[in-house]
Amino acid sequence: MTLSATTNALRDLPEVRAIRDHLDERSGRGRQRISFVSLPAAARPPVMAALIDGRPETTLVVASRSDRAESLASALSDYLPADRTVAVWPSPEALPYEQLPLDSALAAERVALLAQLNAGGASAPAALVVTVRGLVQIVMAADELQRQTLTIRPGQRLRIDDVLTWATTVGYHLSPLVQEPGTLARRGGIIDVFVPGTPFPVRLDFFGDEVDSIRAFDPSSQRSQGRLSETVLLPPSELPLWRMDRIAPTLQALASSDLRAEIASEWHRMLDQIASGQTPASVDLLAPYLVPKRTTVLDYMAPSALVLIEEPRAVQLAATSMVSHAADVLVSATGNGELPVGLEQPFTDWHTVEGLLGRHDQVAFGEADGHLEIDVPAIGDAPLFAGRLDALIDAVIHRSESGSSIYLASDQGDRLGELLTERGVPFDLVDRDAPADPVTTGRITIIRSDLPAGWELDTDERSVILLTDLEIFGFRKATRRTHRRQTSDAGSNAADFTPGEFVVHIDHGIAQFTGLVRLDASGVEREYMLLVYAKGDKLYVPVDQSDRVSRYTGGGVEPVASRLGSGEWVRTKTRVRKAIREMAWELIQLYAERETSAGHAFPTDSTWDLELEDSFPYEETVDQQKAIDSVKADMESALPMDRLVCGDVGFGKTEVALRAAFKAVNGGKQVAVLVPTTVLALQHFQTFTQRLSSYPVRVEMLSRLRDRKAQRQILQDLKDGAIDIIIGTHRIVQGDVTFKDLGLVVVDEEQRFGVRQKEFLKRFRTAVDVISMSATPIPRTLHMSLAGIRDISVIDTAPQARLPVRTFVTEWSDHLIREVLLRELERGGQVYFVHNRVHDIDQLAHKLRTLVPEARIGIGHGQMDEAVLEDVILSFVRHDFDVLISTTIIESGIDIPNVNTMVIDHADALGLTQLYQLRGRVGRSTQRA
């Protein structure tokens, strides 16, 4: 990596070199604690890298929380050479005693890491970053992992049944197709198996009792990728699942009368699963029984391994909190009959872990609590420029001429390069993974990178300055990852309907489907769909005519059943046909006029447009880039644009709109962004303002969050052309709103607007460019787009590797609510608590404050004073409190990546569309939601 050159410079510091020599002399003796004091937080990763690089064994890096572990691992990867990998131990998502299903993907990652540590050498990572929760996690012993690892080579004598027996014993799941780690399939003399830690599954082809060939293959296409000389088959989990049958008697004794009836039933069901060789969902609870010695990842570390601890006080606090919380949960759960009395602690005791850590030399970062305290005065904070680019360039030139080696790590590297080029200053522009050149006096290197913060090294022999976007521009946004949404097609036969749901018969109207029945008609027994209409009237529809029945898709409100034989349904269909004909004629006239109208052709992208693209802190997906290109192509055409951008929540529709708006402003036009709620208006206002802060663009918001005086001034400025982009609710479609030169209208969540707002928009469709955005477009809009009447861009691919959102449906439980909130707080996140009843929302807040006193709780709903609501939302964005209790006002557009848990109270009272929109508010970061 490019920045590993700076690591070499830090290694040469007398203080760092002395510590390395000291550790080398004491290697393996342990019980030595060294503390770096007064070291800037941003300089900790490079100093850590300077201590890690060159050590033959894996170094353990301890962080207090998952977010800190991820951040440290990312930074260490930048500062270490490319061949020195950094791994993060996947900590359990569940808190101790919390019964969540086993995450097979995380289990596969853990066992693969254990195998690498066990093998050592080049296969092991240079550094393993682990949290407190990960340190106490129980794993199988190293020798047992070695015994249950199977190495297979072509030509080896091996019975296919022996491989199958081994695989099912250690926990592989039989599957028709192998598509994820931990699965296995057999077809005749071929076994497909997806081993943890491998990029592709392997195909073992047997000829009798001999392995004929081994090939890797693509799980999506099932096509072979190439021959392998050998494959190493690992167990699919870090726990010895093959011991399940041995622990059954012990677990049977725990299933006592202390459990509530329904819990006892679940416990016995778990015992039945174990007896049948299945892995139960709550396998973490069984860890101490499967591994009585309570082995941890620390037991896999070499005796000479170094331990680096970031913020020892925070680590100790996290450990104390975890142990205290686990004790509280156990007392509460056993007292309520939710867990059996006598259940062993499902993690290793923290005092035992501290003893294991004490066997290794340790270097602490953050507090002066070591046997030996080191101060490094030569390393300090980097200077802050906060968007003053002229001052930045002047300082870079001056320091370069003075002999300093300067590194500018920025997502806007090309833009910084242009600024230096304008001043005639030579520089190197490289990617973050480019090979490292030695630190050279006076050299300026720009690195395309998203490092969190910079630092400065200043000694008599050398001066090195590293500046990041935080110092250069004054802010930095963390990269978020999103997942690819899985979709399924609706069925079209009788078996696809669920008893109790509403359906529509094409001839008879709306009814409730109650199930399938068999009737004898003229001596022939046939199967029928039973539909119940108003007043209990019944209609039996033969299953071979089920194509005449479809699901009712009218939204979250329960429909009224039609009356059989009344002619009501016929009259309804007649009215709808008439309305459709009128609408079709209106649309034909509208779009015919649009096709013949002369719109405004915007110029091609300017330098500023390209700079804005470079400043986007995430990598565009293929579909998102296609949508951006299509929108810009439409804008550069003389025909007025009317494009629907359709994509799942969190897939990047707002960025498409923002770039289009900026292009319109650069072309001398005004932009109106219409949104359905004040909260969404505030969110968009903040996003547009922040992204466009470096440009002479005025963005304003017009909603009820602005008082009357401010609104009057905004309206006047809008009329005079002093405002470039106006963002607002239905307020901007009222008659007193006048634009000087409107060129683009963006409608977010068009399906949320009524007829009056649609009439306003209709006036513009033949004159200005219009972008409509929606995750759930109304059927008419979607049909028009699919039929080619309106242009459509579908963003169906999400940014890379976003984790799927897990959804659980359960009854209210004080114990469960406390567990859920504490689990999110433990990883440094925030929580939405949706309670859609304003009259008792304060009582709920009081209850939650009593239930979880550790949490800071705020309240927000639509009946609050506008200024107060705005302050609440901004405070939540700043993480001034941890839990926001709100109504469904948050369902539209709120984007706070740090919120990754949502609790919805009385979810049964909400519609499916509302639940879907609410679900999209979480899972917008690297954390599991």
pLDDT of residue 632: 93
User: Whole-angstrom Cα distance, residue 298 to residue 353?
Assistant: 8
CA distance 305 to 127: 10
pLDDT exceeds 60 at position 489? no
Please state, for a pLDDT cut of 70, what percent of the chain lies above it: 86
Summarize the confidence of residues 331-347 as an average pLDDT: 84
Question: Which of 767, 795, 823 represents a domain boundary (last residue)?
Answer: 795
Listed in sequence order, the residues at least 6 apart from 304 whose beta carbon sits closer than 8 Å to its beta carbon are 27, 28, 57
Q: Does some domain include residue 484?
A: no
- Domain residue limits at 222: 150-233
Regarding whether 360 and 220 lie in a shared domain, the answer is: no
Residues 537 and 644 in one domain: no
Tokens of 249: 């008697």
- The average pLDDT across 85-99 equals 83
In tens, the pLDDT along 851-868 reads 888 899 999 887 887 668
Q: What pLDDT is attached to residue 576?
A: 81
Q: Which long-range contacts (CB under 8 A, 24 or more apart) does 588-597 make?
A: 590/762, 590/765, 590/766, 591/642, 591/789, 591/790, 593/766, 594/639, 594/640, 594/642, 594/765, 594/766, 595/639, 597/639, 597/640, 597/766, 597/767
Grade residue 826 by pLDDT with cuts at 50, 70 and 90.
confident
Who wins on pLDDT, 30 or 871?
A: 871
- Does 370 reside within a domain? yes
| Type of residue found at 344 | E
Radius of gyration of the chain (CA): 32
Same domain, 400 and 365: no
Answer whether residue 289 is part of any domain: no
Q: How is residue 698 annotated by DSSP?
A: -
- Taking residues 824-835, report their average pLDDT: 86
Q: Is the pLDDT score of 129 beyond 90?
A: yes
Q: For the chain, give the mean pLDDT.
A: 82
User: Of the residues 438, 473, 508, which one is the last residue of a structural domain?
Assistant: 473
CATH number at residue 345: 3.40.50.300
User: Can you give the CATH number for the domain in which 229 is found?
Assistant: 3.30.2060.10
Least confident among 178-182, 742-746, 840-844: 178-182
Alpha carbons 525 and 901: distance in angstroms, whole number: 52
Lowest-confidence pick of 35-44, 118-127, 215-224:
215-224
Residue 48 and residue 94 in one domain: yes
| 129-147: average pLDDT | 93
Residue 617 CA: distances (Å) to CA of 254, 587, 612, 691, 909: 52, 40, 10, 10, 38
Q: Considering only the C-alpha atoms of the chain, give the largest distance between any 2 of them, rounded to a whole number of Å.
A: 104
Q: What is the pLDDT of residue 479?
A: 44
- Same domain? 176 vs 303: no
The per-residue DSSP string of 56-108 comes to SSPEEEEESSHHHHHHHHHHHHHHS-TTS-EEE----SSPTT------HHHHH
Q: Residue range 649-662: average pLDDT?
A: 88
Kindly state the average pLDDT of the residues 264-275: 80
Confidence tier at 659 by pLDDT (50, 70, 90): very high
Q: Is the pLDDT of residue 488 over 50?
A: no
Residue 103 has pLDDT above 80, yes or no: no
pLDDT category at 784 given cuts 50, 70, 90 is low
Average pLDDT of span 393-403 = 90
Residue 809 lies in a domain: no
* 594 confidence band (pLDDT: 50, 70, 90): low
pLDDT band at 145 (very low <50, low <70, confident <90, very high): very high
In angstroms, the CA 278 to CA 270 distance is 9
What's the pLDDT at 456?
A: 92
Would residue 158 count as lying in a domain?
yes
Looking at the predicted structure, is the pLDDT value of residue 900 above 70? yes
pLDDT, mean of residues 650-659: 87
Are residues 380 and 471 in contact, defined by beta-carbon separation less than 8 angstroms? no
Per-residue confidence (pLDDT) for residue 481, from 0 to 100: 36
Residue 759: pLDDT over 70? no
Lowest mean pLDDT among 39-53, 244-258, 273-287, 487-501: 487-501
Q: Which residue has the higher pLDDT, 485 or 818?
A: 818
**Which of the pair, 826 or 778, is modelled with greater confidence?**
826
As beta bridge partners, residue 726 has: 672, 700
Residue range 292-321, pLDDT digits in tens: 999 999 999 998 899 999 999 999 988 998
Number of separate domains in the chain: 6
Say if residue 790 is in the same domain as residue 661.
yes
Within a domain: residue 572?
no
Who has greater pLDDT, 281 or 203? 203
Check whether residue 538 and residue 614 sit in a common domain: no
Alpha-carbon distances, residue 646 vs 598, 613, 654, 760 (angstroms): 26, 21, 11, 22
CATH number of 510's domain: 2.40.10.170
| One domain for residues 617 and 760 | yes
Mean pLDDT, range 222-232, rounded to an integer = 83
Cβ atoms of residues 643 and 770 within 8 Å = yes
Express each pLDDT in 62-83 by its tens digit. Answer: 999 888 898 899 999 989 988 8
Average of per-residue pLDDT across 158-187: 87
* Residue bearing the bigger pLDDT, 721 or 12: 721
Is 844 a residue whose pLDDT tops 80?
yes
Q: What is the average per-residue pLDDT within 825-844?
A: 87
277 falls within a domain: no
Q: Kindly report, residue by residue over 521-571, the tens digit of the pLDDT.
A: 666 667 788 899 988 888 888 877 877 888 887 655 678 888 887 788 888
Give the DSSP letter string of 441-460. Answer: TT-EEEEE---S--EEEE-S
Asked if residue 29 has pLDDT above 70, the reply is no
What average pLDDT score do residues 502-531 get?
A: 80
Whether the predicted pLDDT of 30 surpasses 60: no
pLDDT of 671 > 90? The answer is yes
Q: Looking at per-residue confidence, does 925 or 685 come out higher?
A: 685
Give the residue, 432 or 466, on which the prediction is more confident: 466
CA distance 89 to 114: 10
538, part of any domain: yes
**pLDDT at position 818 over 80:** yes
In degrees rounded to 5, what are phi and psi of residue 464?
-130, 130
Q: Is 334 exposed, middle or buried (0-12, 13-18, 19+ CB in 10 A)?
A: middle
- The predicted model scores a pTM of 0.65
Does one domain contain both 637 and 762? yes
**890/868 Cα distance (integer angstroms):** 15
Tell me whether strands 524-532 and 150-152 are parallel, antiparallel or unpaired. Answer: unpaired
- 613 and 737 together in one domain: yes
pLDDT at residue 496, rounded to an integer: 61
Mean pLDDT of 259-283: 78
> Would the pLDDT of 777 be above 80?
no
- Same structural domain, 625 and 730: yes
Mean pLDDT for 397-417 is 87
Domain end position, chosen among 566, 585, 606? 566
Model confidence at 484, in pLDDT bands (50, 70, 90)? Answer: very low
| CA 394 from centroid of its chain's CA atoms | 40
CATH for 392: 3.40.50
For residue 625, count other CB atoms closer than 10 A to its CB.
16
Inter-CA distances, 264 with 96, 97, 284, Å: 20, 16, 18
Burial of 738 (0-12, 13-18, 19+ CB in 10 A): exposed
Q: Note the pLDDT of residue 491.
A: 36
Given the DSSP bridges, would you call strands 502-505 and 549-551 parallel, antiparallel or unpaired? antiparallel
Q: Is the domain of 455 the same as that of 517?
A: no
Q: What is the mean pLDDT of residues 690-707?
A: 84
Beta strands in 262-397 (DSSP E): 307-310, 362-365, 372-375, 379-381
The average pLDDT across 217-226 equals: 76
